[in-house]
Chain A
């Protein structure tokens, strides 16, 4: 028995070592950005071999927090993200469920069509949507932008959720139907909890998309009070010649941190309902 325990412990050790190594390698550019954000000056590079000159400063972070409306940006980003998540997920869950459970004519073709639609180069989309929204008077409106974001993420959400729904054995639903559950009850009490991991993953995907999106945000929203974090970051550095790298990286890191916090929190909820005692056999 103890031989096995030792073997396990060694495996654990090497596994941990492996991951520490991978994380370090993957994070090297981020570490670089982090160190850069604490530098004074504006350059990204230095002639010296070591990582930059010795003077570390918090000035860049202070600059962003105090001299820029960081919290307003944060609030705007949150508004747009939450709005998009709600719209996108609610539209996709019902559609994904339909595609998964019902076998209807045109099902496969529509799915294929959705997949292919994604292949259209996005560059001209902005122009077309601008004209559309101008006619509908939806320019400079957050709900309008939410619709654009939700629409862009809809296809992926549907396909993703459907894939997950497919793995939920239909016996569970049939069992509840026999017990007399209505469709809404079925949806809310059985399907949604079981699909939690996938819904969370999809929601996080939507969140990241909206959080980092700056092109549409800076074009469709006009007042500078409605800038998002990504939009503010983009404005900070738009040209090669006037960019201050330490400021830029400091802002980038500040913007990434909320996402990481979200990631950390959702890990707990990602454990699938099926493996924790759903249906056996």
Chain B
């Protein structure tokens, strides 16, 4: 009886764990394995163990550029997450206002940026919108008589441009999550609050926010990691081969890509990836101390 109680929950989780084991954990383990070999262009099939040599080389890559990239990455993640949460929350609140008849239409329209393949969106923004001479953004500005702006050639405008694009692509998801979360709140709470004479802000802060916090936590955490790992936007906007824009913006992952992955030295790249991964784990453990157990 006791045995059954102990193992029952695990019985439920086995199918998922097998999947996760094969698709998520195995690559990590395999990468770990390769990091101890010298697999590269010159030893494509006939690679052998080289011990910790790749790790020593990887640690040398943690130079000033890497530190700067860490700072940029944190700033990037923090700003994006704060803006996403606040903006999405209020838009979702608005969408859930009673008697908004066209809510369904609005919700669907707002999902379009997310439905569009990311690859297309990024290229479209790069060529069609941020292009200095003919892009949509500058065309609109000239309509209003404002002079053209160079969006991607210096680091600060490039950072902001990437951020705008990231928000555009990521907000639909957050809005949808908040929307679902808001719908799970028991309306009777609001009714009793209204009867007690509570205004909009009180209702929002004291009822809505606490209620959605727990449902939203997984989505927020996942989005934080995704934002942290975001590679495509920054790479395709500013660093694509043959189309360097002049900005030297780097996040951890673009930096690592440029320094290690381009070399086709899989042994070294694997070691660098493991180092970055360990770094991320340490950082999240550190931050986790602030999160209560119930949050998960």
Q: Tell me the count of chain A residues lying within 8 A, CB to CB, of chain B.
A: 100
Docked complex: B133-149 residues within 8 A CB-CB of A: 133-136, 139, 142-143
Q: Contact between B13 and A94 (Cβ–Cβ < 8 Å)?
A: yes
Q: Contact between B94 and A91 (Cβ–Cβ < 8 Å)?
A: no
Interface flag for A190 (CB, 8 Å): no
Secondary structure call for the A interface: helix
Expressed in whole angstroms, the Cα–Cα distance for A147 and B19 within the complex equals 7
Q: Contact between A46 and B134 (Cβ–Cβ < 8 Å)?
A: yes
Known: A45-B128, A264-B108. A26 touches B113 (CB 8 A): yes
Q: Contact between A128 and B94 (Cβ–Cβ < 8 Å)?
A: no
Q: Contact between B139 and A274 (Cβ–Cβ < 8 Å)?
A: no
Interface flag for A141 (CB, 8 Å): no
Candidate in A45, A97, A268 with the most chain B CB atoms within 10 angstroms: A45
Q: How far is the CB of B94 from chain A (nearest CB, A)?
A: 6
Expressed in whole angstroms, the Cα–Cα distance for A48 and B219 within the complex equals 44
Known: A46-B134, A212-B118, A270-B179. A30 touches B112 (CB 8 A): yes
Q: In the assembled complex, which residues on chain B have CB atoms less than 8 Å from the CB atom of A29?
A: 113, 121, 124-125, 128-129, 136, 168
In the complex, which of the residues B15, B94, B120, B293 contacts A249, with contact meaning CB atoms closer than 8 Å?
A: B120
Q: Contact between B177 and A201 (Cβ–Cβ < 8 Å)?
A: yes
Docked complex: B174-213 residues within 8 A CB-CB of A: 176-177, 179-180, 183-188
Q: Contact between B117 and A233 (Cβ–Cβ < 8 Å)?
A: yes
Q: Contact residue range for chain B?
A: 35 or more
In the complex, which of the residues A33, A201, A249 contacts B176, with contact meaning CB atoms closer than 8 Å?
A: A201
Q: In the assembled complex, which residues on chain A have CB atoms less than 8 Å from the CB atom of B116?
A: 30, 33, 252-253, 256
Q: How far is the CB of A145 from chain B (nearest CB, A)?
A: 11
Q: In the assembled complex, which residues on chain B have CB atoms less than 8 Å from the CB atom of A271?
A: 183
Q: How far is the CB of B13 from chain A (nearest CB, A)?
A: 4
Expressed in whole angstroms, the Cα–Cα distance for A259 and B110 within the complex equals 12
In the complex, which of the residues A36, A124, A150 contacts B19, with contact meaning CB atoms closer than 8 Å?
A: A150
Docked complex: A226-281 residues within 8 A CB-CB of B: 230, 233-234, 240, 245, 248-249, 252-253, 255-256, 259-260, 263-264, 267-268, 270-272, 274-275, 280
Q: Which of A54-62, A68-76, A115-123 contacts B (4 or more CB under 8 A)?
A: A115-123
Residues in B lying within 8 Å of A, measured CB to CB: 6, 8-10, 12-13, 15-17, 19-20, 22-28, 30-31, 91, 94-95, 97, 99-100, 102-104, 106-121, 124-125, 127-129, 131, 133-136, 139, 142-143, 168, 171, 173, 176-177, 179-180, 183-188, 214-219, 221-222, 225, 228-229, 231, 242-243, 253, 256-257, 261, 266, 269-270, 273, 276-277, 280-281, 284, 288, 293, 296
Cross-chain pairs A/B with CB under 8 angstroms, 24 sampled: A23-B110, A29-B121, A30-B113, A32-B128, A33-B124, A91-B15, A94-B12, A97-B12, A98-B13, A102-B8, A102-B9, A104-B6, A112-B288, A117-B25, A119-B277, A128-B31, A132-B26, A154-B19, A166-B214, A252-B117, A252-B120, A264-B108, A267-B103, A280-B188
